[in-house]
């Protein structure tokens, strides 16, 4: 009797699971993402994510998961005192975005072709290349390539693409990590604290020309 009951419960559970089917994964809508980009992001990041203003990041070709994470970090979660990433301008924009908006606009920018920035200072670029490839062991700074790859392409869902980014933006970002102004990556905060201004500018210059 007990065995029959167990089999009946198992059969019922199997039937429920089969009826429910596999969980649906939300698919990004690039057209809707483009609409969000055109309405919200275009002034600073350009229509296709290739910002012409060096203090604003190039978003074209960036990993969608990374972009989505940053937008979520700008939003203040219920019950939280503030956002994980503080920026008055971005906080205002991010607050207006729904989950669908974030997924769509992140996918849209990820699908755009990057028009890279370019390195301008040869000596600084050479110093930056050494740091990017080998780190600064004496200062406890690991090689950037260890996480972001030898060509700066990053790893989707883990580390952002850095190649071709504006030098001004990259240097400012490292400085923000060092000062604690940007605090949404403990790993980068620790690394940046081992770098001086010259180190950060050199790495940033190298990234602008990295392909």
Domains of the chain in sequence order: 30-110 (1.10.760.10), 122-209 (1.10.760.10)
Q: Are 28 and 104 in contact (CB under 8 A)?
A: yes
Backbone angles phi, psi at 136, to 5 degrees: -130, 85
d(CA 137, CA 28): 42
Query: pLDDT tens digits for 85-136?
Result: 999 999 999 999 999 999 999 999 999 999 999 999 999 999 999 999 999 9
Query: pLDDT tens digits for 136-174?
Result: 999 999 999 999 999 999 999 899 999 999 999 999 999
Predicted TM-score of the model (pTM): 0.87
């Amino acid at each position: 009797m007990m065995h029959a009951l167990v089999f009946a419960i198992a059969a019922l559970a199997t039937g429920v699971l089969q009826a429910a089917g596999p969980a649906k994964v939300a698919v990004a809508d690039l057209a809707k993402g483009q609409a969000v980009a055109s309405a919200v992001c275009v002034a600073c990041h350009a229509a296709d994510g290739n910002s012409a203003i060096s203090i604003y990041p190039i978003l074209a070709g960036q990993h969608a998961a990374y972009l989505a994470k940053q937008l979520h970090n700008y939003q203040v979660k219920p019950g939280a005192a503030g956002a994980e990433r503080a920026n008055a301008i971005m906080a205002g924009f991010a607050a207006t975005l729904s989950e669908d908006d974030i997924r769509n606009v992140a996918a849209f920018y990820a699908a755009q072709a990057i028009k890279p920035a370019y390195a301008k200072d040869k000596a600084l670029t050479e110093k930056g290349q050494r740091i990017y490839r080998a780190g600064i062991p004496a200062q406890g700074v690991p090689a950037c390539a260890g996480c972001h790859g030898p060509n700066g392409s990053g790893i989707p869902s883990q580390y952002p693409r850095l190649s071709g980014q504006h030098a001004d933006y990259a240097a400012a970002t490292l400085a923000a990590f060092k000062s604690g102004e940007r605090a949404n990556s403990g790993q980068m905060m620790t690394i940046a604290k081992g770098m001086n201004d010259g180190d950060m500018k050199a790495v940033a210059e190298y990234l602008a020309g990295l392909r």
